[in-house]
């Protein structure tokens, strides 16, 4: 997991390219020509588009290129405004925070990568890294149409299957995941694709990244959080998040998506059992009960002790 860089950067939008139907790629550089912070495949950055509009996008360029960061943004007509801003209003510079990584490529001898639509963005640098490491890998990449699928011309030589839906129908995950013994499976794309992969692949071999929040269910009750550094105790009502309560109490904590997808508000937990509601942690990480995303996750006990 890449430690987040909390200092905001103002970067120049050095280039802009249409890389597929409805997908624009931005190349970001330091205005003074300096090096950008290092990153690894799977990392993302925050774009602070307006004070009230912060969005996360996967880095999809080359980690070895310290002069340029690249992101790709799909226009989403039913989105919350971030993609429309990037496509229609983006200026010559943008404020950026990061990178951070909750979808890191773990060492393995064999990989199966499954990408749906814009989900190719975190996967693309992983393919190059797997290639350079001499690992055996296979990519199955689906999209609405061939024209909607970004970066097909950049895919490294290997076992690549392009499956536009208008030609082949929906991805057949039963077939894709039938021979994954001994492989790590990385999947990124729309929620239904992620859910289908989770239903078919053992959790210990599957790594996923969601671009949208998971549906929240389960009972919601009030509880207390103790702040270990100050000794303060705060009550979190049933209808409010831990993040809301911390912010109202004047606690200095970074946040962004407020829906459990970006990882910005990750907070250490020293005691207590967590009701995890994020889209980031693996089952093993959840079972440790030592970290939480305070924008969505709650307590499964009367009190949590936070590392704040």
Check whether residue 170 and residue 227 sit in a common domain: no
- 229: CATH: 3.10.20.30
In a domain, 217, yes or no: no
Nearest to 113 by CA among 24, 204, 197, 12: 197
What's the domain range around 38?
Answer: 9-100
> Over the chain, what HEC string results?
CCCCCCCCEEEEEEEEEEEECCEEEEEEECCCCCCCCCCCCCCEEEEEEECCEEEEEECCCCCCCCCCEEEEEECCCCCCCHHHHHHHCCCCEEEEEEEECCCCCCCCCEEEEEEEHHHHHHHHHHHHHHHHCCCEEEEEEEECCHHHCCCHHHCCCCEEEEEEHHHHCCCCHHHHCCCCCCCEEEEEECHHHHHHHHHHCCHHHEEEEECCCCCCCCCCCCEEEEECCCCCEEEECCCCCHHHHHHHCCCCCCCCCCCCCCCCCEEEEEECCEECCCCCCCHHHHHHCCEEECCCCEECCCEEEECC
Check whether residue 85 and residue 16 sit in a common domain: yes
Check whether residue 204 and residue 291 sit in a common domain: no
Q: What is the pLDDT of residue 157?
A: 79
Q: What is the pLDDT of residue 185?
A: 98
Number of domains in the chain: 3
- Name residues whose C-beta falls within 8 Å of residue 131's C-beta, 6 or more positions apart in sequence: 137, 156, 158
Distance between CA 101 and CA 263 in Å, rounded?
Answer: 8
Distance between CA 274 and CA 292 in Å, rounded?
Answer: 7
Check whether residue 67 and residue 143 sit in a common domain: no
pLDDT in tens, the chain (308 residues): 444 555 689 999 999 999 999 999 999 999 999 999 999 999 999 999 988 888 999 999 999 999 999 999 999 887 778 899 999 999 999 999 989 999 999 999 999 999 999 999 999 999 999 999 999 999 999 999 999 999 999 998 779 999 999 999 999 999 999 988 889 999 999 999 999 999 999 988 999 998 776 766 667 899 999 999 999 999 999 999 999 999 999 999 988 888 898 888 999 999 999 999 998 888 888 999 999 999 999 999 999 999 99
């Amino acid at each position: 997991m890449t430690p987040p860089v909390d200092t905001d950067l103002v970067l120049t939008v050095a280039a802009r390219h249409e890389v597929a139907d409805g997908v624009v790629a931005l190349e970001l550089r330091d205005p003074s020509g300096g090096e950008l912070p290092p990153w690894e495949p799977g990392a993302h950055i925050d774009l602070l588009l307006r004070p009230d509009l912060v969005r996360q996008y996967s880095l999809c360029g080359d980690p070895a290129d310290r002069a340029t960061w690249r992101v790709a943004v799909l226009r989403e007509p039913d989105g919350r405004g971030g993609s429309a801003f990037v496509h229609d209003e983006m200026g010559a510079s943008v404020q950026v925070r990061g990178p951070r990584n909750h979808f890191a490529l773990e060492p393995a001898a064999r990989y199966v990568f499954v990408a749906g639509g814009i989900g190719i963005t975190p996967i693309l640098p992983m393919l190059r890294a797997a290639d350079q490491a001499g690992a055996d890998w296979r990519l199955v990449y689906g999209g609405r149409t061939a024209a909607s699928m970004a970066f097909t011309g950049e895919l490294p030589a290997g076992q690549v299957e392009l499956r536009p839906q208008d030609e082949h129908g929906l991805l057949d995950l039963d077939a894709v995941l039938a021979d994954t013994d001994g492989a790590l499976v990385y999947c990124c794309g729309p929620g239904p694709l992620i859910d289908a992969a989770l239903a078919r692949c053992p959790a210990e071999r599957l790594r996923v990244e969601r671009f949208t929040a998971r549906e929240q269910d389960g009972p919601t009750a009030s509880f207390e959080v103790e702040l270990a550094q100050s000794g303060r105790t705060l009550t979190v009502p049933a209808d409010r998040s831990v993040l809301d309560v911390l912010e109202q109490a004047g606690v200095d904590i970074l946040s962004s998506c407020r829906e459990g997808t970006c990882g910005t508000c990750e907070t250490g937990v020293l005691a207590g059992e967590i009701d995890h509601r994020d889209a980031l942690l693996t089952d093993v990480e959840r079972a440790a009960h030592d970290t939480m995303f305070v924008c969505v996750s709650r307590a499964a006990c009367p009190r949590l002790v936070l590392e704040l």
